[in-house]
Structure 1
Amino acid sequence: MGYLNNIVGYRDDLLASRSIVRHGNYAILTPDGLVKNIVPGFEKCDVTILSTPKIGASFVDYLVTLHQNGGNLQGIGGEGIETFLYVIEGKVTAQVAGESFHLTQGGYLYATPDEPMTFINNQPADSKAFLYKRRYKPAGNLAPHIVSGNAGQLERIHYEGMDDVTLVDFLPKDPAFDFNMHILTFEPGASHGYIETHVQEHGAYILSGQGMYNLDNNWVPVKKDDYIFMGAYALQAGYGVGRGEPFSYIYSKDCNRDVEL
């Protein structure tokens, strides 16, 4: 086990952290202090486990750095577990059901719950990926299908009519899918139109910029490479701050299902 930011040994100042964990409610995880985990199936990879059921999530998020020839050829998902892979930087070749997908920065792949996903870094330099898995919730005879593409080719939707806030949807608006993945981007000074309160959960990895995020009515500064978990009914909203660079993050949202009793 090592540390994600590769900083070890004594510090020159008091130990401190911007991270906050409120189990079942919300969490901010910063790179400082996060660890690299040894996970069977992942070879030549640095794997950091982010949200899990232990923090109150119904899903698992990973941040994976793939070194040369690194990846997971054993397979992740299948047997009722759906997966989603997003390439933050680099080049990754993934396979599902015998089909290969060559993913560059912004590339993504959704694998259905009956098919495991494998992937490998196909360049000498490191690649970096955001990985999600969740137990699929069936709805009658509906069945999702494999989806792949690149975020750069997807429609930018003006979020709730705001010119300086855009949304990208990765998966179809189809009730066969029980979650979606999005990228939400705020220009500096832009914000949500209101503080949200809803049953859906989010796991969000910040791709660029800086923001102020309201979590359970606590305003918290966040920036690129931070991770946010938002549990059911956690109050939430964000502002883009800083200079020049948009505040942008990729995040999951469970959807298209009634509440189970």
Structure 2
Amino acid sequence: MPKPSHYFPTGGHPGQTALLSDRAMFTEAYAVIPKGTMRDIVTSCLPFWHGTRLWVLSRPLSGFAETFSQYIMEVQPDGGSDRPEPDLGAQGVLFVVDGGFSLKINGISHEMDAGSYAYVPAGSDWSLWNRTGAVTRFHWIRKTYEALEGLDHPEPVVCREQDITPAVMPETDGKWATTRFVDPSDMRHDMHVTIVTFQPGAVIPFCETHVMEHGLYVLEGKAVYRLNQDWVEVEAGDYMWLRAFCPQACYAGGPGPFRYLLYKDVNRHMKLQKAPAGV
């Protein structure tokens, strides 16, 4: 399979003659963060990371999406960290969109390049260093792991998009498919990160309305996406952030495939709030 095509931000700033109008929006049900907002001025840095900056695409917000955070990491040559994750309860997914790096999880080393995926279980001893001589960029999705008595914790998973046959949605003539990095029936996992691919003209033919929260980063192509009551045009480099039960659907615009990296929370009971004492 050829090297995958993945959009990634490079920062910079628009000139003083650029128009202020953009497609960015934040509503009670969803947010759209277009690629044009990912400039130098909105990058962050992290403790114990060297030669690294990042764009924070989403973070838990009370009353909105509450289960996950998502970053785009940019690591310079010889940059990285021996202490990447300070939260022992946080699991993570890394997905490489440009360049590569050396990843070590619990003493086992892996060489990562564009299209590589890694699941890092909560509490893992891991490190990441860019020894390639070029800048590398990758998504880092973090979620507190919901452990359950009677279920073992998942093991690390390292694989490549190029080596996985996408699962085709039924009755779609192959126009809608999902690249799954872990087994959907494995109840140890409480989140899935997949790649969804639509061929030109393909659709989600109904408004999905469900309990799962989503982060959708467009890797390639363009589409018009239904978000709550709005139709929004999106393209490679844009990010959509959806709270639970936000209606959603799409038409893929072509001329090439429309592909996005998708986060969703899965495989756990809904948390129930206890009634106040005396009620």
State whether TM-score is above 0.5: yes
The percent identity for this pair of structures is 27
Q: Distance in 1 between matches of 2:125 and 2:247?
A: 34
Higher share of residues assigned strand:
1
Instruction: Give the distance between the partners of 2:80 and 2:246, measured in 1 at CA.
Output: 34
Using structure 2 for the length normalisation, give the TM-score: 0.87
Letter in 2 for 1:28: V
Q: Deviations over 1:103-124 (max 9, x none)?
A: 1111111111121432122211
Please tell me the root mean square deviation across aligned C-alpha atoms, in Å.
1.7
Alignment gaps of 5+ in structure 2: 1-8, 273-279
1:124 to 105, 113, 133: 133
Letter in 1 for 2:73: V
1:204 and 2:209 aligned:
no
Which residue of structure 1 lines up, in the alignment, with residue 241 of structure 2? 229
Partner residue in 2 for 1:249: 260
Aligned residues: 256
CA–CA distance in structure 2, aligned partners of residues 56 and 149 of structure 1: 28
Q: Report the Cα offset of residue 138 of structure 1.
A: 1.3
Tell me the distance in 2 between the aligned counterparts of 1:97 and 1:255.
25
The residue number in structure 2 matching 1:6 is: 12
Q: Which runs of 5+ in 1 are unaligned?
A: none
2:160 maps to a residue whose letter is N
CA drift at 1:140? 1.7
Q: Is residue 201–residue 230 contact of structure 1 (8 Å, CA) maintained in 2?
A: yes
Deviates more, 1:176-185 or 1:136-145: 136-145
Residue pair 1:206, 1:223 contacting (<8 A) in 2 also = yes
Q: CA deviation at 1:125?
A: 1.6
Q: For residues 107-150 of structure 1, give each alpha carbon's deviation from its aligned partner in whole angstroms, at most 9, with x where no partner exists.
A: 11111112143212221121110110000111223121111100
1:59–1:132 contact (8 Å) kept in structure 2: yes
Q: Is it true that 1:260 corresponds to 2:271 in the alignment?
A: yes
Structure 1 segment 207-222 matched on structure 2, within 5 A? 207-222=219-234
Aligned to 1:84: 93
Of the two, which has the highest radius of gyration?
2
Tell me if structure 2 keeps the 8 A contact 1:206–1:225. yes
Contact 2:65–2:213 (8 Å) recurs in 1: no
- Post-superposition offset of 1:98: 1.3
* Aligned residue number for residue 22 of structure 1: 27
Verify: 1:45 aligned to 2:49, yes or no.
no
Secondary structure of 2:70's match?
strand
Deviation of 1:192 after TM superposition, in Å, equals 1.0
